[in-house]
Amino acid sequence: MSELLALAARIVDRAASGEAIEAFVTHEREFEVKAYDGAVETSSAAEPRGAGVRVVTDHRVGFAFTTDLTEAGLDTALGDARENARHTTPDDAVGLPEPEDVSGELPDMFDRSILEETAETKAAFAVELERVTRQADPRIRTVEEAGYSDSVTDVAIASTTGIAAAYQRSDAWCYSIAIAEDGGDTEVGFEFDLARSLSGLDSAEVGRRAAERALRVLGATKIPSARIPVVFDPYTAAQFLGVIARVMTGEAVQKGRSLFAGRLGEQVAAEGIDLVDDGRAVGAPGAAAWDDEGVPTRRTEVIRDGILSSFLYDTVSARRDGRASTANAARSGFKTPPGPSPSNMAFDPTGGSRDDVMRSGGRALLVQDFHGVHSGANPISGDFSVGITGALLENGEVGRPVKEVTIAAPMLDILRNITAVADDRRWLPFGGSFGGATTLVSEMTVAGS
Amino acid sequence: MLDEGVVSRVLSEAAAGGADLAELFVEDRRTSGLRLEDRRVEDVVSGRDAGAGIRVLTGDKASYAHTNLLDEGSLLEAARAARAGSATSAPVAMADLRRVEGVAVHPVRLRPEDVPTGDKAEALRAADESARAAGGEVRQVVVSYMDVRQRLLIASTDGRWATDDRTRVRFAAQVVATRNGSIATGFEAPGHSGGYELLEERPAAEIGSRAAAKAVRMLDAKPSPAGEFPVVLAPGAGGVLIHEACGHGLEGDTLAKDASVYAGRVGERFGSDSVTIVDDGTDKGAWGSFGVDDEGTPAHRTILIEKGVLVGHMNDRRSAAKLSAPDRTGNGRRQSYAHLPIVRMTNTYLLPGPDDHEEIVSSVERGVYAAAFAGGEVNPATGNFVFGMSEAYWIENGERAFPIKGANLIGNGPQVLNVIDAVGADFARWEGVCGKDGQHAPVTNGMPTVLLGRMTVGGTEA
Tens digits of per-residue pLDDT, A305-343?
Answer: 999 999 999 999 999 999 999 999 999 999 999 999 999
> A89 vs B42: CB contact, 8 Å cut-off?
yes
β-strands B160-179, B191-193: how paired?
A: antiparallel
> B257 vs A47: CB contact, 8 Å cut-off?
no
Q: Cα separation of A199 and A197, whole Å?
A: 5
Q: Enumerate residues 163 to 222 of chain B having a beta carbon within 8 A of any beta carbon in chain A.
A: 176, 178, 182-185
Of residues B161 and A386, more confidently modeled: B161
Q: Enumerate residues 37 to 66 of chain B having a beta carbon within 8 A of any beta carbon in chain A.
A: 37-51, 60-66
C-alpha distances (whole Å) from B401 to each of B359, B392, B393, B406, B421 are 16, 11, 7, 17, 22
Q: What is the pLDDT of residues B276-328, one digit of tens each?
A: 999 999 999 999 999 999 999 999 999 999 999 999 999 999 999 989 886 68
Whether B287 and chain A come into contact, CB under 8 Å, resolves to no
Whether B433 and chain A come into contact, CB under 8 Å, resolves to no
Closest CA to A311 of A266, A350, A260, A271: A260
Q: Residue A33: closest CA among chain B residues belongs to which residue?
A: B63
Burial B70-83 (b: 16+ CB within 10 A, else e): bebebbbbbbebbb
A50 pLDDT band, cuts 50/70/90, is very high
Q: What is the pLDDT of residues B345-396, one digit of tens each?
A: 999 999 999 999 999 999 999 999 999 987 677 776 777 787 888 899 999 9
B87 pLDDT band, cuts 50/70/90, is low
> B44 vs A63: CB contact, 8 Å cut-off?
yes
> B43 vs A385: CB contact, 8 Å cut-off?
no
Please give the model's pTM, rounded to 2 decimal places.
Answer: 0.90
Q: What is the pLDDT of residue B88?
A: 61
Whether B88 and chain A come into contact, CB under 8 Å, resolves to no
Closest CA to A302 of A272, A269, A276: A276
Per-domain residue ranges for chain B? Answer: 4-32+46-99, 112-151+164-220, 227-458
Interhelix angle for B72-84 vs B4-15, to 10°?
Answer: 20
Q: What is the pLDDT of residues B189-222, one digit of tens each?
A: 999 999 999 999 999 999 999 999 999 999 999 9
Q: Which of B37, B120, B139, B384 to mutate to test the interface with A (most CBs of A within 10 A)?
A: B384
Of residues A385 and B119, more confidently modeled: B119
- Check pLDDT > 80 for residue B231: yes
> B185 vs A64: CB contact, 8 Å cut-off?
no
> B47 vs A335: CB contact, 8 Å cut-off?
yes
Q: What is the mean pLDDT of residues B87-112?
A: 84
B405 pLDDT band, cuts 50/70/90, is confident
Q: What is the pLDDT of residues A255-301, one digit of tens each?
A: 878 899 999 999 999 999 999 999 999 889 999 999 999 999 999 99
> B84 vs A380: CB contact, 8 Å cut-off?
no
The Cα of A186 is separated from the nearest Cα of chain B by a number of Å equal to 6
> A48 vs B45: CB contact, 8 Å cut-off?
no
Number of Cβ atoms within 10 Å of the Cβ of A192: 18
Q: What is the pLDDT of residues A192-222, one digit of tens each?
A: 999 999 999 999 999 999 999 999 999 999 9
Q: Please name every residue paired with B149 in a beta bridge, in sequence order, or none if there are none.
A: B30, B167
What residues in A contact B374, CB-CB < 8 Å?
374-376, 378
The Cα of A300 is separated from the nearest Cα of chain B by a number of Å equal to 26
From the list B41, B82, B176, the residue facing A88 with the nearest CB is: B41
Q: What is the pLDDT of residue B245?
A: 81
Report CA B243 to chain centroid distance, whole Å.
Answer: 9
Q: Output the average pLDDT for chain B.
A: 92
What residues in B contact A33, CB-CB < 8 Å?
85
- What whole-number percentage of chain B has pLDDT above 70? 97
> A373 vs B373: CB contact, 8 Å cut-off?
no
Q: Which helix (H) or strand (E) holds B360?
A: helix B357-362
C-alpha distances (whole Å) from B295 to each of A251, B1, B56, B149, B332 are 42, 16, 13, 18, 6
CA dihedral B113, B116, B117, B120 (to 10 degrees): -90
Q: Which of A30, A33, A47 to mutate to test the interface with B (most CBs of B within 10 A)?
A: A47
CB A166 within 8 A of CB A154: yes
From the list B37, B338, B456, the residue facing A404 with the nearest CB is: B456
Burial A239-264 (b: 16+ CB within 10 A, else e): bbbbbbbbbbbbbbbbbbbbbbbeee
> A371 vs B82: CB contact, 8 Å cut-off?
no
Q: Which fold has domain A3-216?
A: PmbA/TldD fold (3.30.2290)
Q: Name the amino acid, one letter, at A24.
A: F
Burial of A443 (0-12, 13-18, 19+ CB in 10 A): middle
B259 pLDDT band, cuts 50/70/90, is confident
What residues in B contact A142, CB-CB < 8 Å?
257-259
The Cα of B446 is separated from the nearest Cα of chain A by a number of Å equal to 19
Residue B177 phi/psi, 5-degree rounding, is -120, 150
> A88 vs B338: CB contact, 8 Å cut-off?
no
Q: Residue A381: closest CA among chain B residues belongs to which residue?
A: B183
Tell me what ipTM this predicted complex has.
0.87
Whether B97 and chain A come into contact, CB under 8 Å, resolves to no
The Cα of B77 is separated from the nearest Cα of chain A by a number of Å equal to 11
C-alpha distances (whole Å) from A219 to each of A138, A184, A185, A215, B400 are 15, 8, 6, 9, 38
Per-domain residue ranges for chain A? Answer: 3-216, 226-447
The Cα of B102 is separated from the nearest Cα of chain A by a number of Å equal to 30
Which one is the CATH code of B112-151+164-220: 3.40.367.20, 3.30.2290.10, 3.40.309.10, 3.40.50.300?
Answer: 3.30.2290.10
Burial of A71 (0-12, 13-18, 19+ CB in 10 A): exposed
DSSP state of B321: H
Q: Name the amino acid, one letter, at A55.
A: V
The Cα of A7 is separated from the nearest Cα of chain B by a number of Å equal to 16
> B45 vs A337: CB contact, 8 Å cut-off?
yes
Q: Which of B28, B39, B42 to mutate to test the interface with A (most CBs of A within 10 A)?
A: B42
Q: Where would I find the H helices in B69-203? A: 72-84, 117-132, 198-201
β-strands A39-46, A49-57: how paired?
A: unpaired
The Cα of B387 is separated from the nearest Cα of chain A by a number of Å equal to 6
Helices and strands: H and E segment counts in chain B: 10, 24
